[in-house]
Structure 1
Amino acid sequence: MNKINSKGLLTGAIIALYVLCNVSFTKAQDVIIPIETKENALVLQVTPDKLLNMVYFGSKLSDKNEYAALAKLYQFGGTIGTYNNAYTTAGTRNLMEPAIAVTHADGNKSLELKYVNHTVTKINDDVSLLSISLKDSVYDFEVTLNYQTYYNEDVTEQWSVIKHHEKKDVVLNKYASANLCIHANSYWLKHYHGDWAKEMRPEEEQLNHGLKTLDSKLGSRADLFQPPVFMVSLNKPATEDEGEVMYGNLEWSGNFRIDLEVDPANNLRLIAGINNFAADYNLKAGVEFATPKFVYTLTNKGKGEASRNLQTWARKYKIVDGNGSRLTLLNNWESTYFDFNEDKLAGLLKDTKKLGVDLFLLDDGWFGNKYPRNGDHAGLGDWQTNKAKLPNDIAFLTKEAKANDVKFGIWIEPEMVNPKSELYEKHPDWVVKQPQRPEIYMRNQLVLDLSNPKVQDFVFGVVDNLFVKNPDLAYIKWDCNSIIFNAYSAYEKNQSNFYTDYVLGLYKVLDRIRAKYPKVPLMLCSGGGGRVDYGALKYFTEYWPSDNTEPIERIFIQWEYSYFYPAIASSNHVTDWGKQPIKFRVDVAMMGKLGFDIVIGKLKPAELAFCQGAVNTYKQFSEEIWHGDQYRLQDPRENDVASIMYVDPAKTTAIMFNYLVNNRYQAGTHEPLRLKGLNPDKTYTISEVNVFPGTRSTITEATYTGKFLMTIGINPDVSEHRASVLIAVKEN
């Protein structure tokens, strides 16, 4: 990696960041620092009095020298100071919402950070890191702002590193990852709310002057009511293919806070980071505190382009094995729940082979002896194989799986404990609970204290022991079902550190797991979508969007997640929820990473034949779904039919999913839907796939130019009699 300091000039046609130092000035001694990606620029300014300001965020200019003129073109100042500081402090000149607020060792609460220097590290031809050093002029307190850009993806990750050398601890009262200042005429925020089985429900509103906060205070399973994702459209609400829009996503699996403040000068001040609610952080001298990364992308080509930016970035740089393959599976949960034995599971392993999927997943209920796990009220924390259900241990199942030429995976929930468990009896000090208050349960369980290194060792050991004893284990479903009530740690000396240290402890465990088992697929489950963020997905291959698998509901849930996460990461299972036929349920689950959670023995012969054929069809188009570019053609919230397609990067093959979401009279498609993402100069053959046995397609196989398909389109003929239709598009 090549480093260039603040007195150098970084050149090169494909370098994501370049620095203009002693080259461009708004006035004497001003330094302009542009941060460029392929289409965009974020421009910082160092003033003569060494304040670091943000003066621009938008489309990249063709002449780099013109960035110097930007600072004087917008109104960033007011009667009480400036609003566009790059990392706004508390206690001095700023009276707006701060990004950082501290209490120094002597009790003083003032902070003013001044520019010291900056460096650029070129990580590769696509990725560059700008680090800017800031320091208080009175106290020995410093912050490094980091901007890591992904040039071709138009994505930036931003975070801060905080350090001090004062005589005693400094208390961080607020410690954000990023502080952006955006200028437009108006701002439109789309954000999400929900609850169990009601994830990712969108709301869009115009941001007016004042402060809007998106946050979580749940501790673990922090996304239950609100996820850390949002989009802001500038000047008007963006559509799928038009408008300027920014997507934001905090890479943190605990309490978060995102402030959006329209200031008196009509700038949007955006501050994102760990939630400081009940979480003042005591920082020792000489210790570096790194905030989580805040990832964002900006485009002037609408929501679809922003999605593809993030999805490409995630597959390439963030999700484990994002450019690899995924395992289709059969899960036993809705077949057996807690009621199973070796014979039942051996039969399900044979069904796995019969269905044609890759893996059998054993869900909850396989552990606990003194307190057997026969329901969700006992046994959690006691990770010994239940001898009554599995007298020959997990090894029996891995052998049976191998005999059936399929893989074997298992469910765990290692962060949690039932009060009725040996673990609780032996280590009550490992449990998060207030010592003088009644325990409060969610799903009859409590949370283990992951700020405690002994608990971290235990949780790592749960996973490690499974792999050591069962080397053929091929998949783990990691669940997390409870939020944190009565937050108190017997281990922590400063209780206000607990919420933050809990998540850092979780990441330490996951770091150890991935260091030893770098490629094993892990599903991120949290009572549904209670923990879906790129901080966790750094360690996981996929996530569980919702426990709600009713297929109509899943169309809406999966649709909204797709704005921020790629299809390869979305675990979608076929279950018995809902009244739709098996074809509809399977077609919906194919819009991501396919799995089954049904009783194969109860399927009619035609239904089984369809499922077997669907698995083959899915594997034929898995590359397009997993690694292709996603295009939304018709929104389910605005139309009778939802339509979405995935196009391989070479634009040679595509798969188009169409689902009826409105059962009113004559609802369906009555005119062509225009396709997207194809090559206008190529010709393509379209045909219907995944047709149910014994039925005939109403789509006549035909050949069209890409121009025709994207200008006129095709009608997939969706109706109450054809509620889900899959169209294959193949280059001739």
Structure 2
Amino acid sequence: MKFKISTGACFIFFSGLYSNLLLPAMELQAQNINIPIVSQHNALVLQVDGNKNLSTIYFGKKLLDQAEYNNIPELYKQGTDYTGILNAAYTPSGSRNLLEPAITVTHADGNNSLDLRYVSHTITQVNDDVSLFSVVLKDPVYNFLVTLYYKSYFREDVLEQWSVIENKEKGAVILQKFASANLYLKAGSYWLNQYHGDWAKEMQPEESRLTHGIKTLDSKLGTRTNLFQPSVFMISLDKPASEDEGTVLYGALEYSGNFRTDLELDYQNNLKIISGINNYSSAYTLKPNEVFTTPAFLYTLSFTGKGNASRKLHQWARNYQLLAGKGNRLTLLNNWESTYFDFNENKLAALLKDTKKLGVDMFLLDDGWFANKYPRNDDHAGLGDWQENKQKLPNGIASLVKEANNNGVKFGIWLEPEMVNPKSELYEKHPDWVIKQPGREEYYFRNQLVLDVSNPQVQEFIYGTIDGLLTKNPDLAYIKWDCNAVIYNAYSAHLKNQSHFYIEYMRGLYKVLESIRAKYPKVPMMLCSGGGGRVDYAALQYFTEFWPSDNTDPLERIFIQWEYSYFYPAITSSNHVTDWGKQSLKFRTDVAMMGKLGFDIVVSRLSDHDLQFCKEAIKTYNAIKPKIWQGDQYRLSDPRAGSIASVLYVNEDQSSAVIFNYLVNNRYNEGSKMPVLLKGLDPVKKYTIKEVNLYPGTVSTIDALKVYSGDFLMKAGFNPDVNAERPSVVLEVNEVH
């Protein structure tokens, strides 16, 4: 069975579709074979030695002369490599290796050792930007193979790496560990920037110097796996990287389940990064002739700081990975904070009129619209019973979709299809579909349990729920897919081998999502998981956007959105204006504009000026959103380093930009005391700067007629005049023709 994780891993059948350069196995002499995997600025160089060991000899700036990569190993005098495979491209265990392995197996005869030697490699030119490298490794004693895949995106300087493990032995082999990638870095010191958090406290950064031994970033939650620790991270070489200076590597596993990244600083002061599916409680039995494909590990290396790395990753995501990365997104009004579970058709009809009045594209009906025997009036009942609640919606979803159309807006709906309440008809009818340990007391997260998505019947049920809604309501325009519980008491009544459970759950989920996208390729879907509990690039190939946090306090959101922006482009981030926080409606709206704008407010309670502001803000947003969604992002002023936050988005030809500026420190007399240095403009071009998104009745302090050169704005800067009276300032920069 092939474990297909992402479009980045759709490689098995490339040969035949494109012309290949096959370098067959040959008798290796003393001469080494180099395999340079290059992009616009970077090179990862693998080397095969005379004993057919595959090693990483270089990862850094691309050299002009490829022959000179041979000179690199002799430059390092770091002591004895007792194993001969410290810098292995994919480190096996149980033979010569003495440090953390990328792969550990138990052979059919019970032997725990593995040795991987080079057999051949293939280079496929996918297009003018993308190249695919594959390197076949085999154990000299056992008929066991690993193929390493490296997908290079030349212009973006991005690499995806994964492994395909194949058992050609006569009996089953148990995979004890099965990483996607095994990187090897050399530097004087290494600085890790990692993230932690909890509900409403997502993406809290921590930076520390790596010391000798192993630092592990991982999750064992089963679902909602990024709740406490996301799988994204940064490694700075020699010193902590800043926005525009320093060498930094961004890493991210394209996987929505349990992950594990080991960062091992070895006795020679080199850093090994091993990342993949978490092997916790997941020893995998690989039958004869069976293939196991790992998810892709994504990384990019920048020599000019974090900002450059972000822009590379954003460009890659929009071009290759995101669903409709160059497409449109819908602004919306959500009912959740207006009604919670307490609504009916009349209330919703009024909200649909408010949606039209506000000027957004769509109305989103959130939790509480379903279940009859155990109606969904709070979060204790109804999950899994996806029929319209007859008391709340006697005429069903169809009447609401029709009413939305009559009001000139679209209609979307909330679902949590992987979950079930014990108080539900689904639980009563199919207790074997629920993840729970037989004989043990059930333990709940948000009063609910998780369905066993490894079970094909459950997969069909989830697919049927989505398909049924969209078939009955072809004008249904949007789905918010939530996932609020982690997995306790992991056990599948369907599976014979429980150690396969966590892996088979994710396979089942991806299978459902692939089926939905095969039939409904363009229906927008939000990836929601109690906030940022499930945000990764494997999931984002199926979803148009994600929900960063349930915390919509705009001051908190500045920090949360700032950290997400290192790894994910603005077009993926759903940001809603709500009543959280003490800031003004303008401040809340300005913060939400830095991504995909939405509203979760009671429109009928807005004052005339507030309503006028919101309507004009949506018009302003519609005019500037192409720059936000598709432009290059520059973080100008770090909210953790001073009193203001400032972020700029500039379009491709550098003719226009938008800058968001916020006061994040309300102490006396704080504000933008110093100019902010702009970035990403053309130094030769002339620009004007005007303030946009003003509240009705206010006058800007910015001179919109004054002309500046790009050179001046990037070297001398510009002061947005942020202060307690002007805590949120949005500026539009336009070229003067």
Fold conserved (TM > 0.5)? yes
Q: What does residue 714 of structure 2 align with?
A: 710
- Identify the match of residue 731 of structure 1 among 722, 732, 735: 735
- Identify the match of residue 122 of structure 2 among 114, 119, 141: 119
What SS does the corresponding residue of 1:678 show, helix, strand or coil?
Answer: coil
Q: What does residue 235 of structure 1 align with?
A: 238
- Tell me if structure 2 keeps the 8 A contact 1:718–1:724: yes
What SS does the corresponding residue of 1:149 show, helix, strand or coil?
Answer: strand
- Give a deviation string over 1:125-145, Cα, whole Å, max 9, x none: 101110111111111111110
CA distance in 2, matches of 1:473, 1:184: 53
CA distance in 1, matches of 2:31, 2:460: 53
- Identify the match of residue 57 of structure 2 among 20, 31, 55: 55
- Tell me if structure 1 keeps the 8 A contact 2:23–2:122: no
CA distance in 1, matches of 2:280, 2:91: 18
- Identify the match of residue 39 of structure 2 among 37, 40, 62: 37
- Tell me if structure 2 keeps the 8 A contact 1:75–1:265: no
CA distance in 1, matches of 2:578, 2:471: 32
Question: Does 2:171 align with 1:171?
Answer: no
1:77-476 to 2 correspondence within 5 Å? 77-476=80-479
Q: What does residue 721 of structure 1 align with?
A: 725
Q: Aligned-pair distance for 1:122? A: 1.1
CA distance in 2, matches of 1:39, 1:387: 61
Q: What does residue 17 of structure 1 align with?
A: none
Amino acid at match of 2:52: K
- Tell me if structure 1 keeps the 8 A contact 2:251–2:297: yes
- Tell me if structure 2 keeps the 8 A contact 1:3–1:119: no
- Tell me if structure 2 keeps the 8 A contact 1:643–1:658: yes
CA distance in 2, matches of 1:534, 1:58: 24
CA distance in 1, matches of 2:598, 2:494: 40
Amino acid at match of 1:623: P
Q: Aligned-pair distance for 1:75? A: 5.0
Q: Aligned-pair distance for 1:2? A: 3.1
Amino acid at match of 1:217: K
- Identify the match of residue 7 of structure 1 among 23, 27, 44: 23
- Give a deviation string over 1:661-711, Cα, whole Å, max 9, x none: 111111110121111000001101101001100111111112111111111
- Give a deviation string over 1:603-633, Cα, whole Å, max 9, x none: 1110111111110110110100000000000
CA distance in 1, matches of 2:125, 2:290: 26
What SS does the corresponding residue of 1:399 show, helix, strand or coil?
Answer: helix
- Tell me if structure 1 keeps the 8 A contact 2:21–2:124: no
Q: Aligned-pair distance for 1:538? A: 1.2
What SS does the corresponding residue of 2:23 show, helix, strand or coil?
Answer: coil
Q: Aligned-pair distance for 1:165? A: 2.0
CA distance in 2, matches of 1:693, 1:279: 59
Q: Aligned-pair distance for 1:6? A: 4.2
**TM-score, length of structure 2 as denominator length:** 0.96
Q: What does residue 666 of structure 2 align with?
A: 663
Q: Aligned-pair distance for 1:166? A: 2.0
CA distance in 2, matches of 1:601, 1:382: 32
Q: What does residue 630 of structure 2 align with?
A: 627
Amino acid at match of 2:279: N
- Identify the match of residue 614 of structure 2 among 611, 616, 631: 611
What SS does the corresponding residue of 2:133 show, helix, strand or coil?
Answer: strand
- Tell me if structure 1 keeps the 8 A contact 2:637–2:644: yes
Amino acid at match of 2:63: L
- Give a deviation string over 1:386-438, Cα, whole Å, max 9, x none: 11111111111110111111111000000000000010001100100000100
Amino acid at match of 2:390: K
- Give a deviation string over 1:557-582, Cα, whole Å, max 9, x none: 00000000000000000000011110
CA distance in 1, matches of 2:388, 2:405: 20
- Tell me if structure 2 keeps the 8 A contact 1:449–1:455: yes
- Tell me if structure 2 keeps the 8 A contact 1:78–1:264: no
Q: What does residue 15 of structure 1 align with?
A: none
- Tell me if structure 2 keeps the 8 A contact 1:88–1:94: yes
CA distance in 2, matches of 1:287, 1:341: 53
Amino acid at match of 1:273: G
CA distance in 1, matches of 2:77, 2:250: 24
- Tell me if structure 2 keeps the 8 A contact 1:674–1:713: yes
Q: Aligned-pair distance for 1:168? A: 2.5
User: Which consecutive residues of structure 1, in runs of 5 or more, have no partner in the other structure?
Assistant: 9-20
Q: CA RMSD in A?
A: 1.3
Q: Aligned-pair distance for 1:199? A: 0.3
Amino acid at match of 1:101: T
CA distance in 1, matches of 2:155, 2:201: 35
Q: Aligned-pair distance for 1:183? A: 0.5
- Tell me if structure 1 keeps the 8 A contact 2:421–2:427: yes
1:631-710 to 2 correspondence within 5 Å? 631-701=634-704, 702-710=706-714
- Give a deviation string over 1:421-462, Cα, whole Å, max 9, x none: 010001100100000100000011000011111111111111
What SS does the corresponding residue of 1:465 show, helix, strand or coil?
Answer: helix
CA distance in 1, matches of 2:45, 2:658: 40
- Give a deviation string over 1:42-71, Cα, whole Å, max 9, x none: 000001111100010000001111112223
CA distance in 1, matches of 2:373, 2:126: 53
Percent same amino acid among aligned pairs? 65
* Structure 1 stretch displaced more, 150-159 or 133-142: 133-142
- Tell me if structure 2 keeps the 8 A contact 1:645–1:657: yes
What SS does the corresponding residue of 1:303 show, helix, strand or coil?
Answer: helix
- Tell me if structure 1 keeps the 8 A contact 2:690–2:733: yes
Q: What does residue 30 of structure 2 align with?
A: 28
- Tell me if structure 1 keeps the 8 A contact 2:40–2:156: yes
Amino acid at match of 2:301: L
Q: Aligned-pair distance for 1:340? A: 0.6
Amino acid at match of 1:541: T
Q: What does residue 13 of structure 2 align with?
A: none
CA distance in 2, matches of 1:340, 1:559: 35
Q: Aligned-pair distance for 1:72? A: 2.6
CA distance in 2, matches of 1:434, 1:2: 49
Say how many residue pairs are matched: 718
- Give a deviation string over 1:181-206, Cα, whole Å, max 9, x none: 01111100000000000000000001
CA distance in 2, matches of 1:284, 1:492: 16
Amino acid at match of 1:718: V
Shift in CA distance, 80/122, structure 1 to aligned 2, threshold 3 Å: closer
Q: Aligned-pair distance for 1:3? A: 3.5
What SS does the corresponding residue of 1:548 show, helix, strand or coil?
Answer: coil
Q: Aligned-pair distance for 1:216? A: 0.4
- Tell me if structure 1 keeps the 8 A contact 2:575–2:593: yes
Q: Aligned-pair distance for 1:28? A: 2.1
CA distance in 2, matches of 1:250, 1:348: 40
1:547-626 to 2 correspondence within 5 Å? 547-626=550-629
User: Which consecutive residues of structure 2, in runs of 5 or more, have no partner in the other structure?
Assistant: 1-16
Q: Aligned-pair distance for 1:158? A: 0.3
CA distance in 2, matches of 1:440, 1:55: 50
**TM-score, length of structure 1 as denominator length:** 0.97
- Tell me if structure 1 keeps the 8 A contact 2:453–2:509: yes
Q: Aligned-pair distance for 1:121? A: 1.2
Amino acid at match of 1:174: K
Q: Aligned-pair distance for 1:80? A: 4.1
Q: Aligned-pair distance for 1:120? A: 1.0
